[in-house]
Amino acid sequence: MSNTPNTSAESSLPKENFAETFSELGLSEAILKAVTDKGYTKPSPIQAQAIPAVISGRDVMAAAQTGTGKTAGFTLPLLQRLSSSKSNKVSSNNVRALILTPTRELAAQISESIETYGKYLNLHSTVVFGGVKINPQMMRLRQGVDVLVATPGRLLDLYNQNAVRFSQLEVFILDEADRMLDMGFLRDIKKVISALPRSRQNLLFSATFSPDIRALAKTLVNNPLEISVNAENSTAEKVTQWLTAVDKKRKADVLIHLIKENNWQQALVFTKTKHGANKLTKQLDAEGITAAAIHGNKSQGARTRALAEFKDGSVRVLVATDIAARGIDIDLLPQVVNFDLPNVPEDYVHRIGRTARAGNTGQALSLVCADELELLWDIEHVIQQHIERKVLDNFVPVNTLGNSRPIRPLKPKKSKLFKKSGKSNDGRGKVEHKDGQRSGSNANGNKPKTPNDQARRKQPENNGGPKPRRPRR
């Protein structure tokens, strides 16, 4: 197995200064007590760096792999700030802090964290997301809340109906920013930002600092402290990655063989399409391997149920498409299978990051057919290593998979989403946005052609409606 890329800490703070205990971080007794109740003894690296910076009031952009405690990294200092400036009585329909997050599951999770860490404080928080009735959410917002956790679509609905106002907003937090962009929320994020007061604290949390995230940050954060606990796109250190070359038609047979032979009890399997997910689920079921599919055509109820059954062990295999898998957080997931390689190489990193979380080990296997060679090249380039190939004796493919290419160094990439859109409605003027676009491509001698095409393609189906420029006031 080749080495994983460098995963050492990169930060503008010297490492030896990181706090070893929560009590060194500037949090009040009430918050420390809640942290102790929760059972945390030592701040994670991202927490040790982010918490003092957020308390100091400055903008922060932080990248750390999933499962490293980013939620507490922003909720604890947020609660500290909000509880120490009591002068601001929040008025009707107003919010003092807004946390934007990509999925309903994550919104609910963050909201629970705020309740947990804020249980000894006199702050009010609530959560809003789509798929449930809007009226109870409007009622809850009527008193005004200190912290609002929201998914973008429902938040904009509420905003357009005047159920939420931002004139008292002090802190704006974008959580899982990379997933948000992957899920096509860029336009919604910009709309939200344009509705916020200019003077505010901004926090951006993400698993990676992709070029798109950096470009987004330019429209959002102001002289931020940048914290990065992982190298960009580094694959989780403890994931054993391997692939086997297989004919496309025999992928299901190979998977069934491996599940049975190795007696895998819990495997998350990724397919490219919803149809592929359904088909594979049926094939597994027919072989006596319990399986469930989650993808965009399944109702929220079916998705929640499938996930619960997978977590409690009553379903052995969860077959998922990339988008549906975004909100999944499963402890100790031992096995991830790429039944199809993803079209976007970064998705490979997200997928295999589902295993070996929180210091555990895991295995990520890819079933690669001859057609997928170029996708494999892209992935190996992004992860900067060759994935070990193993031959399965009874499944040697008729269509041979071509060789990998030598690994060439990564070039600094440019944002595709932000290139030359020229329509930055970020409420912060155009200068910063321009910075992120033209100069880079000109410097390389690339004439900016029609990059909008690509930017559009990245916006998935759920954003296909008409394009309002600005939210209604």
Q: Which residues bind ligand ADP (CB under 6 A)?
A: 40, 42-44, 47, 64, 66-72
C-alpha distances out from residue 388 to 204, 241, 355, 361, 385, Å: 35, 7, 18, 17, 9
| Least Å from the CB of residue 379 to Mg ion | 24
User: Using CB under 5 A, which of the segments 66-74, 156-164, 240-248, 360-368 binds Mg ion?
Assistant: 66-74
CB nearer Mg ion, residue 70 or residue 414:
70
| Least Å from the CB of residue 448 to Mg ion | 34
CB nearer ligand ADP, residue 47 or residue 321:
47
The torsion region of residue 149 among left (phi > 0), alpha (psi -120 to 50) and beta comes to beta
Please report where in the chains the tokens 């990169």 appear, as a residue.
10
Q: What is the dihedral of CA 427, 431, 433, 435, to 10 degrees?
A: -160
Among Mg ion, ligand ADP, none, the one that 228 touches (CB under a kind-dependent 5 to 8 A) is none
C-alpha distances out from residue 392 to 254, 266, 327, 337, Å: 9, 21, 33, 15
| Least Å from the CB of residue 440 to Mg ion | 29
CB nearer ligand ADP, residue 256 or residue 268:
268
Residue 114 and residue 31 in contact, taking contact as beta carbons nearer than 8 Å: no
- Through-space distance between the first and last CA atoms of the chain, rounded to whole angstroms: 57
User: Using CB under 5 A, which of the segments 55-63, 67-75, 361-369, 415-423 binds Mg ion?
Assistant: 67-75
Which one, of 318, 329, 266, lies nearest residue 292 by Cα?
318
CB nearer Mg ion, residue 146 or residue 175:
175
| Least Å from the CB of residue 164 to Mg ion | 23
| Total of chain residues touching Mg ion, rule CB under 5 A | 1
Strands (E), 314-455: 317-320, 335-338, 362-368, 388-389
CB nearer ligand ADP, residue 236 or residue 252:
236
Among Mg ion, ligand ADP, none, the one that 67 touches (CB under a kind-dependent 5 to 8 A) is ligand ADP
Among Mg ion, ligand ADP, none, the one that 194 touches (CB under a kind-dependent 5 to 8 A) is none
DSSP H or E run through 73: helix 70-84
| Least Å from the CB of residue 345 to ligand ADP | 21
| Least Å from the CB of residue 54 to ligand ADP | 14
| Least Å from the CB of residue 114 to ligand ADP | 12
CB nearer ligand ADP, residue 51 or residue 401:
51
CB nearer ligand ADP, residue 117 or residue 339:
117
Q: H-type helices in 167-317, by residue range?
A: 177-182, 186-194, 211-218, 251-262, 274-286, 300-312
Among Mg ion, ligand ADP, none, the one that 72 touches (CB under a kind-dependent 5 to 8 A) is ligand ADP
| Least Å from the CB of residue 379 to ligand ADP | 22
Among Mg ion, ligand ADP, none, the one that 276 touches (CB under a kind-dependent 5 to 8 A) is none
Residue 68 and residue 46 in contact, taking contact as beta carbons nearer than 8 Å: yes
User: Using CB under 5 A, which of the segments 16-24, 42-50, 64-72, 301-309 binds Mg ion?
Assistant: 64-72
Which one, of 378, 352, 382, 380, lies nearest residue 365 by Cα?
352
CB nearer ligand ADP, residue 101 or residue 366:
101
354 makes contact with Mg ion (CB under 5 A): no
Which one, of 54, 458, 450, 430, lies nearest residue 218 by Cα?
430
| Least Å from the CB of residue 236 to ligand ADP | 12
Pair type for strands 335-338 and 225-228: unpaired
For residue 97, the SS3 value is: strand
Pair type for strands 225-228 and 10-11: antiparallel
70 makes contact with Mg ion (CB under 5 A): yes
CB nearer ligand ADP, residue 68 or residue 366:
68
CB nearer ligand ADP, residue 30 or residue 370:
30
Instruction: Give per-residue burial for 8-28: e unless 16+ CB within 10 Å, then b.
Output: ebebeeeeeebbeebeebbbe
Distance CA 446, CA 86 (A): 53
| Alpha-carbon dihedral sign for residues 219, 225, 230, 231 | positive
Instruction: Provide the token pair at 30.
Output: 């009430």
For residue 356, the SS3 value is: coil
Among Mg ion, ligand ADP, none, the one that 40 touches (CB under a kind-dependent 5 to 8 A) is ligand ADP
Phi, psi (rounded to 5 degrees) for 198: -65, -40
| Least Å from the CB of residue 73 to ligand ADP | 7
Residue 173 and residue 74 in contact, taking contact as beta carbons nearer than 8 Å: yes
| Least Å from the CB of residue 6 to ligand ADP | 20
CB nearer ligand ADP, residue 67 or residue 144:
67
User: Using CB under 5 A, which of the segments 3-11, 68-76, 117-125, 423-431 binds Mg ion?
Assistant: 68-76
Among Mg ion, ligand ADP, none, the one that 415 touches (CB under a kind-dependent 5 to 8 A) is none
Q: Which residue is nearest to Mg ion (CB)?
A: 70
Q: Which residues bind Mg ion (CB under 5 A)?
A: 70
